[in-house]
Copies of this chain bind each other. A is one copy, B any other.
């Protein structure tokens, strides 16, 4: 069987790591790059990973989505704040019937793409990993690493395809697990992302400091409980024990700056819509209030606005 070909949109902490792992294992992988194009074209990818360090010397890199060949699977690792560009990019890489696997944070992206594409072509997944882009083409993957993913629309065909992708990921050394319940996967990730991404900015602290203080842990637990409650009413099946497990896993995690914190510190827009606003709207539609999550979004929006006006934007 011919190995699947991959397009990778956004070769940062997620796309860079997984794309490079797949290329190393002999897959045909095509990377769309923006600011890092020159550097990666000249120097390749430098991957530091708990799965083993390596240097990917001559990746296939492109500046524009319409230069990429049509691929079997398009991995989307872009930040959601650029998602208005996504349908056009995907129309190019999916032109021969390939599928998209959305590895972005948050909620609502698969639904919004289903307006543009056959829903059976849209897959989504969550990456449970600590990984940062520390320089152009330079990825540092420091903890965890599992992808849990599945079709946005379960059919015999999409579930079969998910199984194939799962086994190709695993063959490439990527811990991957398919799921027939994408909503549960997304809400479980939100149970981490909402409190830890959000509070790392609101409280100006990395995970180790958030987890070391009784006051922040109480607040984290309150927010996780809200997310769990909302997810349950939005169709996710997550045992209540995941409230404490999510905290406990973070206790044993290496000190980590969340992507939202790095974005904020670098003056980039934060993924507030995907990670906070969309879940809040989904909860509201299900009749569920999330007051502390809502306050977190209000605080972060204020901070984002202040940071922009400070930078003169």
Residues of chain A touching chain B, judged by Cβ–Cβ distance below 8 Å, are 202-205, 209, 213, 215-216, 218-219, 222, 291-292, 294-296, 298-299, 301-303, 305-306
Contact = CB atoms under 8 A, between A and B. Distances in A.
Nearest to A204: B306
A299 B203 contact: yes
Contact of A203 (B215, B222, B302): B302
A305 B215 CA distance: 9
Nearest to A216: B302
List the number of copies, as a whole number.
2
B292 A218 contact: no
30 contacts: A202-B202, A202-B299, A203-B299, A203-B302, A203-B303, A203-B306, A204-B306, A205-B302, A205-B306, A209-B306, A213-B302, A213-B305, A213-B306, A215-B302, A215-B305, A216-B298, A216-B302, A218-B298, A219-B295, A219-B298, A219-B299, A222-B294, A222-B295, A291-B291, A291-B292, A291-B295, A292-B292, A292-B294, A292-B295, A295-B295
Contacts of A215: 298, 301-302, 305
A222 B296 CA distance: 13
Closest 4 CB pairs between A and B? A291-B291, A215-B301, A219-B298, A215-B302
Given A205-B306, A219-B302, 20 more contacts: A202-B202, A202-B299, A203-B299, A203-B302, A203-B303, A204-B306, A209-B306, A213-B306, A215-B302, A215-B305, A216-B302, A218-B298, A219-B298, A219-B299, A222-B291, A222-B294, A222-B295, A222-B298, A292-B292, A292-B294
A215 B205 CA distance: 22
Contacts of A292: 291-292, 294-295
Residue with the highest number of chain B CB atoms closer than 10 Å, among A205, A222, A291: A291
Contacts of A294: 222, 292
A213 B298 CA distance: 10
Nearest to A291: B291
Contacts of A209: 306
A306 B296 CA distance: 19
